[in-house]
């Protein structure tokens, strides 16, 4: 690469050990002077230093045009990149006059007037040769349909695993129920057997239910309230006999008169006999 090319090799970046490029001299004044842009510029410069035929493709296209196309393709998502490559391959395909031959040939180019070799085209798109062959094969077999990446088959259902059912319906109340967990058939059968055993054991220990009598009207009969009345205690007044003086002598006289009457009565009876 000649010294007339738009780069200055006098100063080196101490962090990445890359030369400091002048974006204005390279015609990239519209781009910011950031790490992504400078790394891309340095990567393309190092790539075109490898051999003379790569430099020829670079000189035909021009560094600014090549950089802008490369930068735009790198910004595509993977499905977008694959569709772009399929469209490019359909335009690059060379019609084979021999119908028996199944080999596909392509003529790579930058545009209708500028041809590119395959390594430069791979560098322009930022892909590998293996990736390009996979896109060519998919284009021949399934056309422009999108490729499916990775293992997208169904997961095998093993008996030793528990699977979460993601189809959940929420009630109107707004409360979210817990996700239903599907258990293996052997586990559910053992749970059912254990539940039936527990129910039978509980049924033998049931206590007799108490029946509540109800009135004809359907209301529950209320128990009568017993009112215990306190027993009235009647206290009798104590009678105190106050003896007057001389009363004792009168009682003795009365007793003596009674005895005399008894004696008289007995004597009268004896006389009559």
Query: pLDDT for 195-238, tens place per residue?
Result: 777 777 666 555 555 444 444 444 455 555 555 655 655 555 55
Give the residue from 34, 51, 44 showing the smallest Cα distance to 6. 44
pLDDT in tens, 21-30: 888 888 899 9
Most confident range (mean pLDDT) of 70-84, 91-105, 238-252 is 70-84
- pLDDT over 90 at 58, yes or no: no
- pLDDT computed for residue 56 by the predictor: 78
Q: Above pLDDT 90, what percent of the chain?
A: 23
pLDDT in tens, 228-253: 655 655 555 554 555 555 555 667 77
Please enumerate in sequence order all residues whose Cβ is within 8 A of that of 40, keeping only pairs 6 or more positions apart, or say none: 67, 70, 71, 74
Question: Mean pLDDT, the chain, as a whole number?
Answer: 73
Give ∠ CA 73-74-79 in degrees, rounded to 5: 75
- pLDDT computed for residue 78 by the predictor: 93
pLDDT in tens, 29-46: 999 889 999 999 999 988
- pLDDT computed for residue 196 by the predictor: 74
Q: Above pLDDT 70, what percent of the chain?
A: 56
- pLDDT over 60 at 158, yes or no: no
Distance of CA 34 to the CA centre of its chain: 41
> For the whole prediction, is pTM greater than 0.95?
no
- pLDDT computed for residue 22 by the predictor: 87
- pLDDT computed for residue 263 by the predictor: 82
Residue 237, token pair as written in the block:
């007044």
Query: How far is the C-alpha of 149 from the C-alpha of 131, rounded, in Å?
Result: 13
Q: Does residue 112 or residue 175 have the better pLDDT?
A: 112
Q: Residue ranges per domain, the chain? A: 77-142
């Amino acid at each position: 690469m000649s010294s007339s090319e738009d780069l200055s090799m006098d100063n080196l970046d101490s962090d990445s050990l890359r030369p400091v490029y002048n974006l204005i001299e390279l015609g990239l004044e519209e781009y910011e002077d950031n790490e992504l842009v400078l790394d891309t510029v340095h990567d393309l410069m190092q790539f075109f230093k490898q051999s003379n035929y790569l430099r020829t493709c670079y000189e035909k296209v021009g560094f600014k045009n090549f950089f802008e196309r490369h930068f735009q393709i790198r910004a595509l998502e993977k499905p977008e990149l694959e569709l772009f490559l399929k469209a490019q391959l359909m335009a690059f395909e060379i019609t084979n006059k021999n119908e028996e031959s199944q080999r596909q040939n392509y003529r790579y180019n930058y545009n209708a007037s500028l041809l590119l070799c395959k390594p430069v085209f791979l560098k322009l798109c930022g892909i590998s040769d293996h990736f390009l062959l996979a896109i060519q094969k998919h284009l021949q077999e399934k056309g422009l349909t999108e490729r499916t990446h990775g293992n997208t088959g169904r997961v095998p259902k093993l008996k030793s695993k528990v699977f979460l059912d993601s189809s959940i319906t929420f009630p109107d109340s707004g409360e979210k129920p817990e996700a239903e967990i599907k258990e293996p058939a052997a586990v559910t059968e053992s749970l059912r057997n254990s539940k039936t055993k527990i129910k039978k054991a509980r049924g033998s220990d049931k206590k007799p239910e108490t029946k509540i009598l109800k009135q004809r009207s359907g209301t529950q009969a209320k128990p009568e309230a017993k009112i215990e009345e306190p027993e009235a205690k009647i206290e009798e007044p104590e009678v105190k006999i106050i003896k007057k003086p001389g009363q004792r002598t009168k009682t003795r006289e009365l007793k003596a008169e009674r005895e005399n009457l008894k004696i008289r009565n007995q004597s009268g009876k004896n006389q009559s006999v």
